[in-house]
Amino acid sequence: MAVHRESMINHKGNRNIVKLCFALMFILAGAFLLPFSNIHAQEEIPLPSQAEGDSLVIVLDPGHGGEEEGGLYENFIEKDMNLIVANAMKEELEKYEGVTVYLTRTGDQKLSLAERSAFAKSVNADFMFCLHFNLSIDHTLFGAECWVSAFGEAYSKGYSFADVEIKMLEEAGLYARGIKTRLQENGTDYYGIIRTAAELDVPCVLIEHCHMDHENDRSFCEGRKQWEAFGRLDATAAAKYFNLKSDTLGVDYTDYQNVEVPIPDYVVKPDTTPPDICMIELAAQDLSKGEVTIQVSAADYDSSMLYYSYSYDGGQTFSALQPWGDKSQDTITFTMQIPPHIVPEIVVNGYNNYDLYTQSNQLSLPAMDYKTEEEIAAQKEQESIMDSAIQEPGLSADEAPLPEEPALKKSVSVSRQTAVEENKPVSFEYFLSVCLVCALLVLGMALSMMLFMRSRRNRRRRRRKKR
């Protein structure tokens, strides 16, 4: 009986050991599979179904996230703006036939650039769009731009899409800063999202929609309404590039012609030098208004012209950056306002697509001695005062007040009063007073002469007595 009980105890112990082993196996399996199921540290994203195997797969990457807030300016937080743009772009793209869209993040998560590109590769993405907003150190730059890889097919596909995107942003009213490449010192793509995507053969474009810190772009990014508009614009650009159609939207871009960009067998390097030429000459000068029209001729043989700024004090201070306008033209004209009472010394800075500039020759012009609107208004006021004084009864034109400075009004009034007093008629009492004064003067002079003559006679008498 004791042996049987011991056998039963051993049997139960063995069963417990087996259960424990199975539990440990499940725990280890779960721990092993968990990192793969959560590799993107976000809400679970459904992978393409078998029916979606032939779909166009697009991945949208809202830049930054988590601790990486991106650009910060006033009440703008770039990571939040990027996510709103991405959601609007996804919603719009899903209205087209044959498209599957994913986001690298759906909330406020921090992801490395390699993780973002790895996710795009894991869903067999045909293209990844990295969505951003821009700002500059000195808050002087404005406009939209696209960054693409500098290498091979990634450059060709990236540039072809960016051409569509930039044209649409320009049509919306933004200033186009161009399609650009940028390299690190070691010669690889500068932007990590473009570099890691290219390493995995995923075409990628980084879109900088506008500068949130510049007044020229402010109306395009004021709030959620504008950010969602960017998302819809980006979706339309993608639809054109991939020749999509939508019965829901009633659009068909199957015949849209993209620009053909040959696959380069070299590195498409960025422009690292300032413009080659920048010269100015006088086109017109209006001395009466202080307006000067300048003709600028500038060119950059490696990229296009982008901005210009001007100075009328020999380069000590410059205006804000001005858009070059038609970038296909090397010569432009503009009119500048010169402050009054100075001798203009005009120079112009011409900027290329990479914000590098060359300063022009200097123009020395005649002094702009015109009157400002304030000075003209003050002169009219003085003339009005003079006209009112002339119209007063009994006051002649010669007696009217002259248009002097306010500080001199008191002295002019005193002088006018003295002149009026001098023109009064002479009274009889005044005449007698003058005659009396004259008589006293004559009498005084006569007495003085008598005393002088008497003194001379006395001196002569003394001399005779001494002899």
Q: Residue 59: what are its φ and ψ, rounded to 5°? A: -115, 130
Q: Round the CA-based radius of gyration of the chain to a whole number and report it.
A: 45
pLDDT tens-place string over residues 229-267: 999 999 999 999 999 999 999 999 999 999 999 999 999
Lowest mean pLDDT: which of 31-45, 143-157, 273-287, 401-415? 31-45
Q: Which residue has the higher pLDDT, 65 or 373?
A: 65
In the chain, where are the structural domains located?
A: 50-252, 277-364
Helix axes 224-241, 78-93, angle to 10 degrees: 50
| The two structure tokens encoding residue 114 | 């390699």
pLDDT at 10: 45
pLDDT of residue 231: 98
Buried b (16+ CB within 10 A) or exposed e, 199-227: eeebbbbbbbbbbbbbebbbebbeeeebb
Confidence of residue 395 (pLDDT cuts 50, 70, 90): low
Q: Does the structure show a pLDDT above 90 at 321?
A: yes
DSSP H helices in 38-146: 78-93, 113-122
Question: 106-131: per-residue pLDDT in tens?
Answer: 999 999 999 999 999 999 999 999 99
194 — pLDDT class (breaks 50, 70, 90): very high
pLDDT of residue 399: 56
The answer on pLDDT for 152 being more than 70 is yes
Question: What is the percent of the chain with per-residue pLDDT over 70, rounded to a whole number?
Answer: 79
User: 464: pLDDT confidence band, cut at 50, 70 and 90?
Assistant: low
Query: SS3 of 280, please?
Result: strand
Whether pLDDT at 1 is above 50: no
Give residue 402's pLDDT: 55
Q: What is the DSSP letter of 410?
A: H
- Residues 75-100: tens digit of each pLDDT: 999 999 999 999 999 999 999 999 99
pLDDT band at 22 (very low <50, low <70, confident <90, very high): very low
pLDDT at 47: 41
The predicted pLDDT at position 173 comes to 97
**17 sits in which H/E element:** helix 2-37
Which of 77-86, 176-185, 385-394 shows the lowest per-residue confidence on average (mean pLDDT)? Answer: 385-394
Per-residue model confidence (pLDDT) at position 467: 56
What confidence tens digit (pLDDT) does each residue in 418-433 have? 444 444 555 677 778 8
- Determine the average pLDDT of the residues in 432-446: 84
How far apart CA 56 and CA 96 sit, in angstroms, is 10
Class of domain 277-364: mainly beta
Structure tokens at 431: 């005449």
pLDDT at 111: 96
CA angle 267, 181, 353 (to 5 degrees): 120
Distance CA 433, CA 391 (A): 39
Q: What percent of the chain has pLDDT over 90?
A: 64
pLDDT, position 466: 62
| Amino acid occupying residue 298 | A
Please state which of the ranges 23-37, 192-206, 210-224, 307-321 shows the lowest mean pLDDT.
23-37
CATH pick for 50-252 out of 3.40.630.40, 3.40.390.10, 3.30.70.100, 3.90.180.10? 3.40.630.40
Position 69 scores a pLDDT of 96
